[in-house]
Structure 1
């Protein structure tokens, strides 16, 4: 799996890679939820990353000999960040509405955007996105977040921290490795990281009385393409073509995408506060994209 031809890739706006990745992530999440029952959250997440690692290793055949230790370390840290983000977010959506979990997880990219802010306008877009997050989380969930599962909130905030690390290390790995070889290495590390948590749970689910292991494995393999194989590849491509700060604020669209998927797939209606919050994050994303073209 190499990079698309430079000429063809150049015609595609980098933000489109981000948007496509976000829709695929949310679709993958929605399709993963039915697997949490038979396989468990940890088991499903482990199998998803395991299939992703196998697919990417077979497609890229990464060469590790002669690599600088710091490049291998970055790929390993990206794998651990990806594992933590994937597992914690899966735990969050098992206990919280998708839109709420995605909004809290966005605090990770927002923190990166604030750290890398260099001009007043950059800080403005990050703060505008933060206002949208507040509207979606607080007013959009009944004011003050009452009734939200505290364990789910803990998972969501943990996923946010891992998301911030994921953005930082994806940028480094994308620059150090050709094509998606670094992604293959990181997915392998991620799967190995989750093995102690998910292997036993996955095995129990696959061997349970009345289970259909082939159907379950094929379902997980299909979902692994939607999350994480294709989205992570698209995000790595985007990070190679845009400033890290712009990417961090652009992914503030994720809560809006999650809310849209919730509306279409789950029939969740949007209130006025939620619409206002979505408007804020959309405006912040557009502003960051436009001011990022310097």
Structure 2
């Protein structure tokens, strides 16, 4: 099996597994804080065992202060992202929450432009506009009404808030060196344990056997397993192929929501999903950027 095929299988499997996360969260019947806490506990244990097996777990304790500080900051943000995302699922359903969350690539672009003064090309604004149109379409109610009631609005805001926090995590991770992906995920889980241990609504003795089973799946499969698959597989793929495969996550989530809960999207919502996916690929793969740059350069030469 070639390196690229291994990467393809690994990323595809990880994204499809993530697409079933929402079902496990809702089926657990627990509140978002409790789900996040036990995800961190069980997922952190899996990642710790993986680090010990690879012989690099102790390296976390020897991280430079700057790297450790940024890793802890990303952990705080990641925990907030999980809580908000799980809250959104409870209010607007798995499919819509996942679709709204996937506007985060555009947030990364905008935040990068504001913080690092990265240049935004004209075509990038076009992709962002298309994504906003898609977001408006995707968040319409399938019952033919705008559904601007309090629970719906809260769910949309939580999904957008989670996407924003994850965008900042992405930017922090890009600037981190000297720490592996699984090590960073382990630190993030530790942050979740410390943050939530005193406020978690459902204590260990109150968790039912059925809930422990769902928490185990979330922690072992959707946290430890997915992180290990992704970090091992992504380096084996080209950027365009990886960008396309990442959309197996929302696609699987939409299918899982329809099969398990009967939540089927309407035509307008599917159109919105298409707009967001196309725009996200356009931003990620920088469609039109090189062409616009060459056109600008030719104009400059012509003016001279």
TM-score, scaled to structure 1: 0.76
Give the Cα–Cα distance (whole angstroms) in 1 for the partners of residues 212 and 37 of structure 2: 12
Give the Cα–Cα distance (whole angstroms) in 1 for the partners of residues 248 and 143 of structure 2: 18
Q: Cα gap change, 1:270/1:64 in structure 2, threshold over 3 Å: closer, same or farther?
A: closer
Gaps of at least 5 residues in structure 2 are 113-118, 291-304
Per the alignment, residue 271 of structure 1 pairs with 266
Task: Tell me the number of residue pairs that the alignment of Structure 1 and Structure 2 aligns.
Answer: 277
Per the alignment, residue 3 of structure 1 pairs with none
Gaps of at least 5 residues in structure 1 are 1-6
Higher relative contact order (CA 8 A, sep 6+): 2
Give the Cα–Cα distance (whole angstroms) in 1 for the partners of residues 131 and 249 of structure 2: 11
Per the alignment, residue 164 of structure 1 pairs with 167
Give the Cα–Cα distance (whole angstroms) in 2 for the partners of residues 195 and 66 of structure 1: 25
2:106/2:128 contact within 8 Å kept: yes
Could you say what secondary structure the match of 1:190 adopts?
helix
- Cα distance per residue 1:129-150 (max 9 Å; x no partner): 2321121013657453423514
Could you say what secondary structure the match of 2:166 adopts?
helix
Give the Cα–Cα distance (whole angstroms) in 2 for the partners of residues 32 and 20 of structure 1: 19
- Cα distance per residue 1:166-210 (max 9 Å; x no partner): 22233344x431352222222212222222332x4133532xxxx
Q: Cα gap change, 1:74/1:238 in structure 2, threshold over 3 Å: closer, same or farther?
A: farther
TM-score, scaled to structure 2: 0.74
1:110/1:252 contact within 8 Å kept: no
Per the alignment, residue 189 of structure 1 pairs with 191
RMSD, aligned CA: 3.6
Per the alignment, residue 301 of structure 2 pairs with none
1:227 is matched with which residue: 205, 222, 226?
222
Which is greater in Rg?
2
Per the alignment, residue 51 of structure 1 pairs with 42
Per the alignment, residue 106 of structure 2 pairs with 110
2:18 is matched with which residue: 25, 46, 61?
25
Deviation at 1:256, TM superposition (A): 4.5
Per the alignment, residue 93 of structure 1 pairs with 89
Give the Cα–Cα distance (whole angstroms) in 1 for the partners of residues 27 and 128 of structure 2: 35
Could you say what secondary structure the match of 2:92 adopts?
coil
Give the Cα–Cα distance (whole angstroms) in 1 for the partners of residues 221 and 21 of structure 2: 5
1:52/1:187 contact within 8 Å kept: yes
Could you say what secondary structure the match of 1:196 adopts?
coil
